[in-house]
Amino acid sequence: MHPSEVLFQGKRQPLLLPACDHYAGSEKLMRKSMALQQELGPLFDITFDCEDGAAAGAESEHAALVVSLLNSDDNRFNRIGVRVHEPGSVHFENDVATIVGGAAKRLAYVMLPKVGGVADVQAAIDQVNLYASAAGRPDLPVHVLIETHGALREAYDIAALPQVESLSFGIMDFVSAHYGAVPASAMRTPGQFTHPLVVRAKLEMVAACHAHGKIPSHNVTTDIKDSAVVANDAQRAAAEFGFTRMWSIHPDQIKPILKAFTPRLSEVNEATNILTDAMAAGWGPIAQHGRLHDRASYRYYWTVLQRAKLAGLALPEAAAAIVNQSETSS
């Protein structure tokens, strides 16, 4: 049995996705993002935006453009998703029919905005599946934006849906939904990490994700000129709130986000040492530096190595051997 089988017996392994989700709406920005992904590798995802990216009256043309880009050779890693119009929009069905129907096999995921609850999500998934199955992709992942009161109330049930891979927090729409009761300062730092209603919303969404092994994705940082701001936001989102992914809205935000969510080398070395000893002990309890470790802590350190590899970090030889053993055996 390889490590993942030993450590997650009877349990679903938590999903892992690149730590940065970069949004691009216009053709120029979409092509620029694809070129950057080719340069850096599949270390970050791209989401083509139909909701805010399409010019009014040109929604069908925009969806067709997305299909052509997804099916092009520039989509080298198949790590590009799409945010469609909200399920209640008159453009939703055309987005799904055009994009999912035309590029399902090259599409990484479909992002659903402004859902009102789990019933909306399930209905949208049914619509996605109608076209995805016909295109030979019956298991197309779905991501969901939590930005309404109803979606937050039912975040746990939404995260439980098997096809849902990730929940993202939509801070601007969520704050706006309070009609002035939550100040605009809560849309940015430090208010977004201190205002009680926003903190509660983030924590409930993150908890729902982790309960079901899904990916909680943090909202955007609107300051696109100061990379230190996005770096600080990403660090706080990861360390204080348990997010494992974050949105980017400018190419300069991608690297600071990746750095904040990538395990430090000291963590990777510690995980390597602990898991190496654990394997030698047949995954029984061990003591290292005066501290007891068992399968509960092994699961944590196993995830550290997986996240490090996903971020493109060069793993120590022993760590690479542990990760590769899992891949070879699975």
Determine the pLDDT at residue 316: 83
Determine the pLDDT at residue 325: 63
Average pLDDT value for the chain: 94
Residue 10: count of CB within 10 angstroms of its CB: 4
State mean pLDDT over 286-294: 93
The percent of residues in the chain predicted with pLDDT above 90, rounded, is: 86
State mean pLDDT over 138-152: 97
Distances (CA, A) of 244 to 18, 216, 287: 9, 6, 29
Determine the pLDDT at residue 25: 94
CA atoms of 323 and 308, how far apart (whole Å):
11
pLDDT digit string (tens) for 34-77? 999 999 999 999 999 999 988 899 999 999 999 999 999 999 99
State mean pLDDT over 301-330: 80
Only one residue has tokens 């120590």, namely 316
pLDDT digit string (tens) for 310-322? 999 888 888 888 7
Determine the pLDDT at residue 318: 85
Distances (CA, A) of 29 to 23, 32, 250: 9, 5, 9
Domain boundaries 20-261, corresponding CATH code = 3.20.20.60
CA atoms of 269 and 159, how far apart (whole Å):
32
Please give the model's pTM, rounded to 2 decimal places: 0.93
Asked if pLDDT for residue 192 goes beyond 50, the answer is yes
Asked if pLDDT for residue 178 goes beyond 70, the answer is yes
Query: pLDDT band at 277, cuts 50/70/90?
Result: very high
13-27, 55-69, 272-286, 314-328: which range is least confident on average?
Answer: 314-328
pLDDT digit string (tens) for 195-226? 999 999 999 999 999 999 999 999 999 998 89
Determine the pLDDT at residue 54: 86
User: What ranges do the domains of the chain cover?
Assistant: 20-261, 264-329
Residue 95: count of CB within 10 angstroms of its CB: 25
Query: pLDDT band at 3, cuts 50/70/90?
Result: confident
State mean pLDDT over 116-135: 97
